[in-house]
Copies of this chain bind each other. A is one copy, B any other.
Amino acid sequence: MTTKKWAFENFQEGMTLDLGEKHVTAEEIIEFASEFDAQPMHLDEQAGKASILGGLAASGWHSCAMLMRLMCDAFLLDSTSQGAPGIDYVRWMRPVLAGDTLRGTMTVLATRLSNSRPDLGFVTVRHDLTNQNGDVVMQCKHTGMFLKREAAA
């Protein structure tokens, strides 16, 4: 029996969870892009302004990574998570620009017990990242695996 806050039983279809906020700086955008996605609109303000993104904009993968950090801090590190086999989709709907403040919201779409492992369940969620103007900038959907409370250490 785990003392962790979040086990499979704590997720219920229809519930939403506030994942908190992340302020995005130009320095972070440039640092991530320099290592992983060195396209000009992710490295330089003028190049960003000249692009369809309209300013120095985070790599889409950087937005995914920032969402992951919000998930970790909001619940995942205090959970019985056993990881996820993948991502159903990611939608980059609007640019994430230097100076933006993002808020994550998780919505539980479905839960089900594993057929093959009685100690494990699947939790399907959609994440929304919203900026300070209330615009949704990114959505993604995935299914995570969580141990049942009685099965977790």
Instruction: Name A's B-contacting residues (CB within 8 A).
Output: 32, 35-39, 52-53, 59-61, 64-66, 68-69, 72, 76-77, 81-93
Contacts and interface: CB of A to CB of B under 8 A. Distances in A.
Overall SS of chain A's interface: mixed
A72 B93 CA distance: 22
Copies in the complex: 2
A63 to B, nearest CB: 10
A52 B83 contact: yes
A39 B69 contact: no
Contacts of A93: 85
Given A36-B68, A39-B76, A88 B89 contact: yes
A89 B85 CA distance: 11
Nearest to A32: B65
Contacts of A60: 83-84, 86-87
Given A64-B61, A65-B65, A39 B72 contact: yes
Select the residue from A64, A84, A87 with max chain B CB neighbours within 10 A: A87
Contacts of A86: 60, 89-92
A141 B81 CA distance: 25
Contact of A87 (B38, B85, B90): B90
A54 B110 CA distance: 29
B84 A39 contact: no
